[in-house]
A and B are shown apart, each in its own frame.
Chain A
Amino acid sequence: MNEPEHHHDEPVEDTEIVMWKRKMFWSWVLTIPIAAIMLSERLFGYELIEMPYSIYAILALGFPVLFIFGFNTMKSGIRGLFTFYFNMDSLIALGTVVAYLTGVFYFTGVVSDYSGVASMIMAFFTTGKFVEARARGRASYEIRKLLELGAKNSIVIRDGKEIEIPIDQVVVGDIMIVKPGEKIPTDGIVFKGESSVDESMVTGESLPIEKKKGSNVIGATINQDGILYVKASKIGKDTFLAHIIELVEQAQSSKIPIQRLADKITSVFVPVILVLAILTFLNWFLFFGDLSRAIGVGVAVLVIACPCALGLATPTALMVGSGMGAKRGILIRKGEAIQTMKEIKIVVFDKTGTITKGKPEVTDIYSKVKENYLLEIAASLEKLSEHPIAHAIVTKAGLKKYKKVTSFSVVRGKGVIGKIASKEIVIGNRALMNYKKIKYSDFNSVIEKFEFSGKTVMIVAEGKKVIGVIAVADAVKEDSVDAISRLNSHGYRTVMITGDNERTARAIAKQVGITDVIANVLPEDKAKKVLELQKFGMVAFVGDGINDAPALKNSNVGIAMGTGTDIAIEAGDIVLANSSLIGVVQAINLSKATFRKIKQNLFWAFAYNVVAIPLAVAGLLHPVIAEIAMALSSVSVVTNANLLRRAKID
């Protein structure tokens, strides 16, 4: 049995959250009596425990708070102080230990007792960490679900028997049996059976996809109604899901330019605060001569400083953003793209496979010879090419036997040339005919007629003479019109680029609402055209990850379209797992919303420190209030990141 899906919908209790919760609970159990002792006198003028016994009590209760429940914080903080790799914990450790020691030195008569403050700081610190860890857990909820999406087991046929094995023992070629309601264990090809499959969890495609013999299926998607026998084709790191996870992880570890300043500050933050706290202490001690006050202010400076808010501002917002994207099949590979996206003015689309379905079909044949003969020689040549148009012609011909072709060659972006029974056959566009000096003027009117209706025309010549033309149409994707009209209405300049001729390209562009067309572009020149367009503004290029890789790279933001079963993990700053153009609109909206959230977070984190630290230095904040403010600042940043989910991106 595979893992039933509902297991994955329950939020996973993170060990980190559990740890902080425990620490928080016990810290408060001991800190509440301490607070009662401290406050009873101040508020009610009534000593719960008489002096100096109250100090003994506070020290006794405070010891476990600091050194048992706060052990990890102390250890890491003190290690930081000794190795000069200062961290957040160094500030808390130093602040609480100093405060605690005032209780001990009270008896020497040099300082008044602050020791209760130490426990309160630690209690609020653990509370802040608990709330923050929970909020961080929420921020990474979708991504964690994605990481846990893979199937654990698979039923396979081995030696004619059905056996259940762990997923890592499945090998390529295994026949896996997937029952209704179960997860498809790994990527494969349907070998037997028919069913519909819910792929929403990996591609964001909400409608179930029909699968039959020969269909590709994706691991971790859910089989709906029939039994499927699937031949495993990809395992482990090569699967669709593994690629998605790889992309998501890349995004998290990529740096966004706006974060750089925050990172620089974070890395010197703690030592700077340490120095500042010492200077503050000296200032109060030397100029005002009040040691107790000087210690109190120094501790407040130590605990108010919060590098965490600064450090969490970007990663949490990015995490929420990429989770929202992943749910829709939008994978942000480079964090930088989020920042660049708001500058984009021009969106360039490749035509075939991006605006259109990329599955051309032969629609018309105009022939001077017998239609069957034309198709036979055309299909015999095209059989040797891998181009989608070639595939359409081969499918249309449906030959059982092909003619023998010699000296075959592909002229990239133009067509194919070969010899059948010593006659040279040339199949391709006008450019190829011109190049081979073949006259086609008799066919001009019929070619133009096809082209005006958005069809691509292949001219077939036998021995320097045109014998007919084959028109191929590639249907526009259902949502292309909607997606492009939304981009147009948002003020983007939309451009279509294609190797096709001007007329065909214009006809397709008109169908989807694009006015800017760059036609007759050889595949290798697309990247150059992108550079030219950049004179007018930042360019996003939308295309497939394989043929358009250079153009994707040259653009300011490259958006690589998936084909449904494959995703290009090396090309594109943003990768769409499904092939819908609405994904482009969503990706743009999502990037902008995420970047806005990052900016907000960074602003608050900076503002907090800029306001709070001077207040603490000036001695205006009680250390406990300082700690509460610190805890609230990092919690508010993470909570604000979670609010990104409210952004409308669809």
Chain B
Amino acid sequence: MKKLKLTIEGMHCASCASNIEKSLKKVSGVKDASVSLMLKKGNVEAEDSVNVEDLKKAVAKVGYKVTKVE
């Protein structure tokens, strides 16, 4: 298991945050995802096998951009 912190650009509404959460949770291997509109950050808990690129894609799919991964 690993924990990743994503900085996400472009959110301006609560439904944005919940869409990103939903999209991230659909990535296989992701155990939990929570996105904070206020901090413009998302916390993802995932299997070690999960690829950062897949997470970025999941965020991009709903229309937002990951600017930093920690």
| A263: contacting residue among B18, B39, B42, B43, CB under 8 A | B18
- Shortest CB distance A649–B (Å): 20
Q: A16-B12, A87-B13, A311-B14 are in contact. Are A253 and B19 (CB under 8 A)?
A: no
| B15–A86 touching, CB < 8 Å | yes
Which of A75-83, A177-185, A480-488, A489-497 sits within the interface? A75-83
* Cβ A312 vs Cβ B14 within 8 A: yes
Inter-chain contact B38/A267, CB cutoff 8 Å: no
Residues of A within 8 A of B12 (CB): 16, 129, 133
Give the complex CA separation of A319 and B40 in angstroms: 12
Q: Knowing A76-B63, A80-B63, A87-B13 are in contact, say whether A252-B18 is a contact too (CB < 8 A).
A: no
* Known contacts A253-B43, A307-B13: A85-B35 contact under CB 8 Å: no
Q: Is B62 an interface residue (CB 8 A)?
A: yes
Contact A316 B23 (CB under 8 A): no
Interface centre among B34, B35, B62, B63 (most CB of A within 10 A): B63
A80-B63, A83-B61, A252-B39 known; A88-B34 Cβ under 8 A: no
Report B13-50 residues with CB < 8 Å from chain A CB. 13-19, 22-23, 34-39, 41-43
CB of A310 closer than 8 Å to a CB of B? yes
Which residues of chain B have C-beta atoms less than 8 A from A252's C-beta? 36, 38-39, 41
**A136-B15 Cα distance, complex, nearest whole Å:** 16
Flag if A311 contacts B34 (CB, 8 Å): no
CB distance from B30 to the nearest CB of A (A): 14
Please give, as numbers and ranges, the residues of chain B lying within 8 Å of A418 by CB-CB distance: none
Q: Is the CB of B18 within 8 A of A254?
A: no
A side interface size, CB within 8 A: 38
User: Given the complex, which residues of A lie within 8 Å of B15, measured CB to CB?
Assistant: 86-88, 266-267, 269-270, 307-308, 311
Q: Could you tell me the distance between the alpha carbons of A266 and B17 in the complex, rounded to whole angstroms? A: 10
A139: CB under 8 A from chain B? yes
Q: Judge whether A31 is part of the interface by a CB distance below 8 angstroms.
A: no
Contacts of A318 in B (CB 8 A): 38
Q: Which residues of B approach A to under 8 Å, CB–CB?
A: 5, 10, 12-19, 22-23, 34-39, 41-43, 61-63
Having A267-B22, A312-B37, one finds 13 other A-B pairs with CB under 8 Å, namely A76-B63, A79-B62, A80-B19, A87-B13, A136-B38, A140-B38, A249-B36, A252-B36, A253-B43, A267-B18, A311-B17, A315-B14, A319-B38
20 contacts between A and B (CB under 8 A): A16-B12, A76-B63, A79-B62, A80-B19, A85-B19, A87-B13, A88-B15, A133-B12, A139-B38, A253-B35, A253-B39, A253-B42, A255-B34, A307-B14, A308-B13, A311-B13, A311-B15, A311-B18, A311-B37, A316-B38
